[in-house]
Amino acid sequence: MTQKLIVIGAGMASGRVLEHLTDADPGAYDITLFNAEPRGNYNRIMLSPVLSGEKTYQEIVTHDDAWYAAAGVTCRFGERVVAIDTAAKTVTAETGEVLPYDKLLFGTGSNPFMIPLPGHDLDGVIAYRDLEDTERMMAMGPDNKVVVIGGGLLGLEAAAGMAARGVDVTVVHIMGHLMERQLDEAAGYLLRKSLEAKGITILCGANSKEILGENGRVRALLLEDGTELACDLLVMAVGIRPNVALAQEAGLAVGRGIHVDDQMLTSVEDVLAVGECVEHDGAVFGLVAPLYDQAKVAAATLLGQQAAFVQKSLSTKLKVTGCDLFSAGDFAEGEGREDIVFRDPGRGIYKRLVIEDDKLVGAVMYGDTADGSWFFGLIKDGTDISEMRETLIFGPAYQGGSPVDPLSAVAALPPEAEICGCNGICKSTITDAIAGGATDLGAVRATTKASASCGTCTGLVEQLLQVTLGDDFQMPAAQPMCGCTDLTHEDVRRLIKSQELKSQPAVWQELGWTTPNGCHVCRPAVNFYLLADWPLEYRDDPQSRFVNERKHANIQKDGTFSVVPRMWGGITNPTELRAIADAAEKYDVPTVKVTGGQRIDLLGVKGEDLPYIWADLNKAGLVSGHAYSKGLRTVKTCVGTDHCRFGTQDSTGLGIKLERALWGSWTPHKVKLAVSGCPRNCAEATCKDVGVVCVDSGYQVGVAGAAGMDVKETERLADVPTEQEAIDLTVAFIQLYRENAKYLDRPYKWVAKVGLDWVKARVVDDLEERARLIAAFELSQSIYRKDPWAEHAAKPAPFAPLANLELEAAE
């Protein structure tokens, strides 16, 4: 008598089992196929082309009615199996009907994971898994807004598909870059760029807080930072979980998935499982290739043949609709690895190979993926690549490749790229002038004015001369920023502005960095340039800062830290002093010192105590003094008119106002100010970065002084009659310094390069420019004028060791 086989789920895996089974022995089983979806097996992978309109549902059906009829399968589509009795060997359908089986096959797939945010059960909140979801998305048009949570493969496919229909799509992704599990930052950046070019808005590092509704329907997504994203449909594509509830209730052994052995047999006799619902040897599956191997084995097992499922190497190969992207193998985990990086900013190409023990183990590529399968083959076969290492990155067709041209970043700039910011001169104006006979720097300056003002774009102009004239131009040797690039600091600053580069991966890619993510020299500089130029779009990256700025304290030679609270204008009071004294006692601070900057330094605090001592100091109203930062340090003051018989103006008050305005801002190097109440200059204002000396007629504002490794008197920026003007000039000067100076140049070094006249023209004479500088500084301060200690004190965990293995278990 024919045995009865019942199959739960008509998915891609069980469909393959049925094909193998009926091909090999059509009469072996009397088959009944249940499916919760009201249809048979279709190619789920092709839902995205259906969504974008490139294909119809009919075209992606794998098994149609005729196929099932020919194979003799009884179809019960739109019917869920609700219970199984493994002792009696029966299944119960949704209708209550009980059917006996001889063999049972689970192919229940996965459930999309829904983040349990408030509002996740509102109408209009969907996943991306089946035809119904796809149809909901296809109903959206140009008048609709959709938010997709999840910047992985599925979320991006959903977004790209809807964008192709003209829908206004926003992708909200919690991680720092898209598809972080398959791509590195650089490739993630290029992917983002091309998706944005399709009109998709992408928010990375964005944390969803709540789904807002109206009359039971979704209205908007609320983010942790308060942003509200209006939407008519919200798609959650944040991952899948094996669908195991039914198996669990039936008493099968279940971990993350249904446990199966090498024959695809579960823990219960005569019950098999295949597909995304299984767990084999600790692994669960989310791509079809291994599922097809499982299907072959399951069919053999059902036919009483010998077969065993073997997990293949973990390599995966991925494609996102319309993006030239490739990722294979493993570029995480493991020791002894090396990178080969190739970037061609002009053509938007990025390639990175990861090599271990003379074998290729991983590859990420963007923009030119033609060699993808070749690299994939090398990874899979474990080919020894030591012979071709030098030229490996150029692919199979290319031997003896020449190194990348260091000038390629400048050559790749579009003609309208602005080279000289002072005079607004773009690339084509300069190349035209060169073509017209201006063959040296002086001639270019004379004909175009480029590089004739502050001079910081000189390096770029010289590179353009070289690119245009080739060997006819002798390039003076400029000092590149570091080993990761041939560009100087000034070149990089200029290009960040003119090319609107707003992230570190954008800088690395568009300017042709030769390392995957920079080094300790360039990263802090690039991080500063980005946050100074794009205060709203770019967020400070603590991992690109020296320890002092990351820890908000100065590291000592024994690895402890010093803590210096701010004392506005050098003024303190008994409450603050008491709080400092208490903190010093409580945390066993070995040294308490009065600094040269008119405040108190607690030296020798243990790293893990930092958040706690800050919290205590915060309670007394004390905030970080930024004694560790490339930013505003102190504003030294003297006692001024309040007490001193010679004081002409309120120097203490002005100092406090300046410190309140400037604190928290990041600058190219540290910035120190002082205000003295009269020319006796007790606050030593004439050797500061900005020093104000009060006189009867008003305020003498000096800049570019020094008293460290060099000693130099300030130069007079201007004399002004009112306190407000003294503040305005100071703020405008600091902002001009932030926008233009090379990282780690103190103001006196920077002014020596650009000239005091150039500074005066912008800060003193041009009132419009002064107002712009002040507004730009205020905008930046809307983000940075705050106490970093308070923020970190709220989250002390990262300051403690990750684990303590010193302690032995009780003996």
Partner 1 sequence: MSWIDIGHIDDIPLRGARVVKTPVGCVGLFRTGEAEVFAASNSCPHKGGPLAEGIVHGQKITCPLHNWVFDLNSGEAIGEDARIATYPVRLEAGRILLDGAAVGKRSAA
Ligand X SMILES: Cc1cc2nc3c(=O)[nH]c(=O)nc-3n(C[C@H](O)[C@H](O)[C@H](O)COP(=O)(O)OP(=O)(O)OC[C@H]3O[C@@H](n4cnc5c(N)ncnc54)[C@H](O)[C@@H]3O)c2cc1C
Which residues contribute to the site for partner 1 (CB under 8 A)?
A: 176, 181, 184-185, 331-339, 515-520, 523-524, 542-547, 550-551, 555, 557-559, 607, 798, 801-806, 808-809
Q: How far apart are CA 359 and CA 337, in angstroms?
A: 10
129 belongs to the binding site for ligand SRM (CB under 6 A): no
- Nearer CB in complex with partner 1: 331/737: 331
607 belongs to the binding site for ligand SRM (CB under 6 A): no
Task: Work out how close the CB of 553 gets to ligand SRM at its nearest, in angstroms, rounded to a whole number.
Answer: 8
Angle at 485 between CA 483 and CA 488, to 5 degrees: 100
Buried b (16+ CB within 10 A) or exposed e, 418-440: bbbbbbebbbebbbebbeeebbe
State which of residues 181, 217, 593, 680 lies at the interface with ligand SRM (CB under 6 A): 593
Q: Where are the beta strands (DSSP E) in 345-384?
A: 349-356, 359-366
Exposed (0-12), middle (13-18) or buried (19+): which is 368, by Cβ within 10 Å?
middle
State which of residues 322, 406, 480, 597 lies at the interface with ligand SRM (CB under 6 A): 597
742 belongs to the binding site for ligand SRM (CB under 6 A): no
Instruction: Find the part of the chain contacting ligand SRM (CB under 6 A) among 303-311, 426-434, 439-447, 589-597.
Output: 589-597
Task: Work out how close the CB of 117 gets to partner 1 at its nearest, in angstroms, rounded to a whole number.
Answer: 20
Angle at 417 between CA 416 and CA 420, to 5 degrees: 115
Q: Are the beta carbons of 117 and 209 closer than 8 angstroms?
A: yes
Q: How far apart are CA 315 and CA 806, in angstroms?
A: 38
How far from the centroid of its chain's Cα atoms is residue 555's Cα?
28
Instruction: Find the part of the chain contacting ligand SRM (CB under 6 A) among 26-34, 304-312, 702-710, 776-784.
Output: 702-710
Q: What is the chain's length?
A: 811
Give contact residues for ligand X (rule: CB under 6 A).
Answer: 8-14, 34-37, 44-45, 47-48, 80-81, 107-109, 128-129, 154, 157, 243, 246, 275-276, 286-288, 291
Residue 284 corresponds to which tokens in the numbers above?
Answer: 């669960």
Distances (CA, A) of 232 to 40, 136, 168, 203, 248: 30, 11, 10, 18, 36
In the list ligand X, ligand SRM, partner 1, none, the entry touching 411 (Cβ below 5 to 8 angstroms by class) is: none
633 belongs to the binding site for ligand SRM (CB under 6 A): yes
Per-residue binder mask for ligand SRM (CB under 6 A), 516-555, x = binder: --------------------------------------x-
Residue with tokens 């330094």: 601
The SS3 assignment for 278 reads: strand
In the list ligand X, partner 1, ligand SRM, none, the entry touching 801 (Cβ below 5 to 8 angstroms by class) is: partner 1
- Nearer CB in complex with ligand SRM: 288/671: 671
CB atoms within 10 A of CB 23: 10
- Nearer CB in complex with ligand X: 108/503: 108
Task: Work out how close the CB of 709 gets to ligand SRM at its nearest, in angstroms, rounded to a whole number.
Answer: 4
In the list ligand SRM, partner 1, ligand X, none, the entry touching 709 (Cβ below 5 to 8 angstroms by class) is: ligand SRM
Distances (CA, A) of 730 to 13, 196, 674, 757: 70, 39, 11, 16
Task: Work out how close the CB of 327 gets to ligand X at its nearest, in angstroms, rounded to a whole number.
Answer: 13
In the list partner 1, ligand SRM, ligand X, none, the entry touching 286 (Cβ below 5 to 8 angstroms by class) is: ligand X
Residue with tokens 């084509």: 428
The SS3 assignment for 672 reads: strand
Q: Are the beta carbons of 178 and 204 closer than 8 angstroms?
A: yes
- Nearer CB in complex with ligand SRM: 599/738: 599
Angle at 392 between CA 519 and CA 526, to 5 degrees: 20
In the list ligand X, ligand SRM, partner 1, none, the entry touching 546 (Cβ below 5 to 8 angstroms by class) is: partner 1
List interacting residues with ligand SRM (CB under 6 A).
554, 556, 562, 564, 593, 595-597, 599, 601, 627, 633-634, 670, 672, 706-709, 746
